[in-house]
Amino acid sequence: MTAVSTAVTAVVLDMDGVLIDSEQLWDEVREELARECGGRWHERAQADMMGMSSTEWSRYMHDVIEVAAPPEEINAEVVRRLLARYRESLPLMPGAVEAVERLAARWPLGLASSSNREVIDAVLELAGIARYFRATVSSEEVERGKPAPEVYFEAARRLEFDPTNCAAVEDSANGIRSARAAGMRVLAIPNPHYPPSEGVLALADVVLHSLDELTPDLVSAS
């Protein structure tokens, strides 16, 4: 494991489960589509797909859930339905905008998300926080999604900082593993709907209860 530097020069946030309360919405939309199309939905499906890139989860929906449509059509329909919900009511996490503003006042911000590019752009615009992010990365833009570290490596590259000098804010098991594998300082805010195990939370440098606790002093603490 790469040693994590204590000199934080940039912060990279996850989006789903950190800035928006959306993991269960992804679950609902994908399950809805699977059942409409005669797929074989199962109770592990959401956990299996959490952190996957759009290419990976749409392939999973086709191969494992047995939705007959091609993966690219599955992807497009899920995103269409999800964005319709967001435009009706964006499920921002309490304190999300304020947390972004606090961190952006001190560091360049990046975003490393498993959401599709169009979903990332729509959420940041709808929330009014797009201007605070110097770099945003979708896992569909790298070879492998979380828990692989590529999305965090790419965010650090676009920010022009060494990943070991970045802090990451994550909520899920695969996200925590991804940020840790990239060598970042990891601050975890466990997802209440799909909480990481104690063993995974032990990989984080700090475990918080909410975004209200996410302060610059805590991010930069050794």
Beta bridge partners, 206, equal 187
Instruction: Name the domain boundary from 69, 88, 107.
Output: 88
CATH number, residue 53: 1.10.150
**Catalytic site residue from 16, 27, 171, 205:** 16
How far apart are alpha carbons 198 and 201 in whole angstroms? 5
Residue that finishes a domain, picked among 38, 71, 88? 88
- Domain span at 54: 23-88
Active site (annotated) includes residue 14: yes
Domain boundary among 56, 88, 120: 88
Residues 130 and 104 in one domain: yes
Tokens at 98, concatenated: 């304020």
Residue 193: how many other CB atoms lie within 10 Å = 14
1 is a domain residue = no
Tokens 């990989």 -> residue:
203
Q: Residue 180's domain is classified under what CATH number? A: 3.40.50.1000
Q: Which helix (H) or strand (E) holds 111?
A: strand 109-113
| Segments in the chain forming alpha helices (H) | 23-36, 45-49, 54-63, 71-88, 96-104, 117-127, 150-159, 173-181, 198-201, 216-220
Is 108:10 a contact under the CB 8 Å cutoff?
yes
The whole-angstrom separation of Cα 34 and Cα 64 is 11
How does pLDDT run across 81-95, given as a tens digit for each residue?
999 999 999 999 999
Q: Looking at the domain assignment, is residue 163 inside a domain?
A: yes
Residue 220: predicted pLDDT: 92
In the set 14, 21, 27, 171, the catalytic residue is: 14
Q: Is residue 57 part of a domain?
A: yes
Let me know: does 115 contact 138? Beta carbons within 8 Å. yes
| DSSP designation for 17 | T
Q: How far is CA 193 from the centre of its chain?
A: 14
Within a domain: 5: no
Residue 69: inside a domain: yes
**CA-CA distance, 148 to 205, in Å (whole number)?**
19
Please identify which residue in the block is written with the tokens 């091609």: 70
pLDDT at 50: 80
Is the same domain home to 188 and 212?
A: yes
pLDDT at position 137 is 98
Q: Give me the residues of the chain with pLDDT under 70, please.
A: 1-6, 222
pLDDT value of position 222: 57
